Each structure stands twice: as structure tokens, then as C-alpha cells.
Amino acid sequence: QSVLTQPPSVSGAPGQRVTISCTGSSSNIGAGYDVHWYQQLPGTAPKLLIYGNSNRPSGVPDRFSGSKSGTSASLAITGLQAEDEADYYCQSYDSSLSEKVFGGGTKLTVL
Amino acid sequence: QVQLVQSGAEVKKPGASVKVSCKASGYTFTSYGISWVRQAPGQGLEWMGWISAYNGNTNYAQKLQGRVTMTTDTSTSTAYMELRSLRSDDTAVYYCARGGVLVSFDYWGQGTLVTVSS
């Protein structure tokens, strides 16, 4: 059971918009700690996608965006492409555990 | 360019120890922390802990306290993660990543598969 809760899977057709939620609590996201998002393509290491809730590292397309509100955060992907098919993970810090925590991951399928 | 290059795959017997290395290049090693993350087959990411490359301070996941030790060698810009008393459920790909407890992990190693089997 992950401290941060993500849907196991989401799907969408090419060109569509999808969102992935990340629900936490008052000891992590709700406490104001930043949320980061990672993309993991099959068989590869994770890659930083969004940092500090809504910032994109250089090279990440602006089709990817992040937001945070209350005890939750969301990753939105617009103009879905086949190459976006991957696992996505949210990450934050939990003050009760004094640990970095990940969501359980969401598998994105492009139909 | 920033690179983290990890040591090769390992096969260990239950009860043994494993030490994985992570050699950094392309940046000032002591300016960033190194975190370790593992991923069991077909499972999600699990944070193991963090070490400051500046002063060696560490923060380990409670689940691994007593079995894990993270160290650095600033002369070679290399971080190490040692896990002891290995069990079958320690079988996973182990990643090092640049970043600390409150910041994102902006660069990752390629991963090291550790298999624990009798």
C-alpha cells in the first residue's frame, strides 16, 4: 500500500488528453511538500518529467504539465502520442515517515 | 553531460551481502546528494535512502534500517549502496539517482539487477 495513491492504469487515443492523479495526505502533499513526476519507458530507468509540482526540465515537451491542490496532484498529458505509453510515478516527501515516498505507479496505454 | 554509471548485475545467495557502485561524472560530485531506489520485478519504485556527497549524512528508509549502508568516495566521485542479509524479496533492479530528500531526482543510473536465489 503506497502512501501516495495513483490509479493503476489510464488510457487514451492518440491526440487525446489524459490525466493521472496522485492523492496523498496532510503529512506529505497536503503539508506543502513538492510533488515530482517520473516517466518510465519499458525496460529503462525512470526519467524526471515534472519537478516542483509544475516545472518541466529542459527537453520535456510542453504537452506534459503538472498541478497540485490540497492533498492531491495531477499530471496531464495532451496530444497523446504512441511514445507516451509508459509507467508514470509521482513522488513527494512524507514528514510522518521522514522518508521520500512514491506513488504506486500508473500504466498509460495509448489505444 | 551528467552521467551516473552503475556496476553490473549480481547474483547472491540468501543471507549474503551486495555492494552496488554508482560513478558520477559531468558535475561537481559534492554539490548534490545521491539517492537509491529499487524496483522489484513487475513492481513500482521504492525509495531506499539518501546520502549527502558533501558530508556523508544519510537518511535510510525505515524498512531497511540496519541492513543498508550508503557511502561515498569523493576521490573517485562514486557512491555505494551495501545491502546485507539478503532475502529473496530483495531481488530487484537497484537505481542510483542524483537528488536529495526534498528535491527531485534529475539524473538516474542505468540500474543494476540484483538477484537473490539459492
pLDDT at residue number A68: 97
User: B36 at the A interface (CB within 8 A)?
Assistant: no
pLDDT above 70: percentage of residues in chain A: 100
User: B105 at the A interface (CB within 8 A)?
Assistant: yes
Q: Which three cell numbers stand for residue B4?
A: 551516473
CA distance A19 to chain B (A): 19
For residue B22, is pLDDT > 90?
yes
pLDDT at residue number B36: 98
- Round to whole Å and give the CA distance between A60 and A45: 16
pLDDT at residue number B6: 98
Instruction: Determine whether B98 is exposed, middle or buried from the number of CB atoms within 10 Å of its CB (0-12, 13-18, 19+).
Output: buried
Is residue A19 within 8 A of residue A74, CB to CB? The reply is yes
pLDDT per residue rounded down to tens, chain A (111 residues)? 889 999 999 999 999 999 999 999 999 999 999 999 999 999 999 999 999 999 999 999 999 999 999 999 999 999 999 999 999 999 999 999 999 999 999 999 999
Instruction: With CB atoms and an 8 Å threshold, state whether B47 touches A52.
Output: no
User: B46 at the A interface (CB within 8 A)?
Assistant: yes
- Round to whole Å and give the CA distance between A10 and A3: 20
Q: State mean pLDDT over B29-49.
A: 97
Contacting B with CB below 8 Å, chain A residues are: 2, 33-34, 36, 38, 40, 45-48, 51-52, 57, 87, 89, 91, 93, 97-105
For residue B86, is pLDDT > 90?
yes
For residue B68, is pLDDT > 90?
yes
**Among partner residues B47, B95, B111, which is closest to A99 by beta-carbon distance?**
B47
pLDDT at residue number B101: 83
Q: Which three cell numbers stand for residue B115?
A: 538477484
pLDDT at residue number A1: 81
pLDDT above 70: percentage of residues in chain B: 100
User: B88 at the A interface (CB within 8 A)?
Assistant: no
Instruction: With CB atoms and an 8 Å threshold, state whether B47 touches A89.
Output: no
pLDDT category at B102 given cuts 50, 70, 90 is: confident
Q: Which residues of B touch A99 (CB under 8 A)?
A: 47, 59, 61-62, 101
pLDDT at residue number B100: 85
For residue B88, is pLDDT > 90?
yes
Q: State mean pLDDT over B8-28.
A: 98
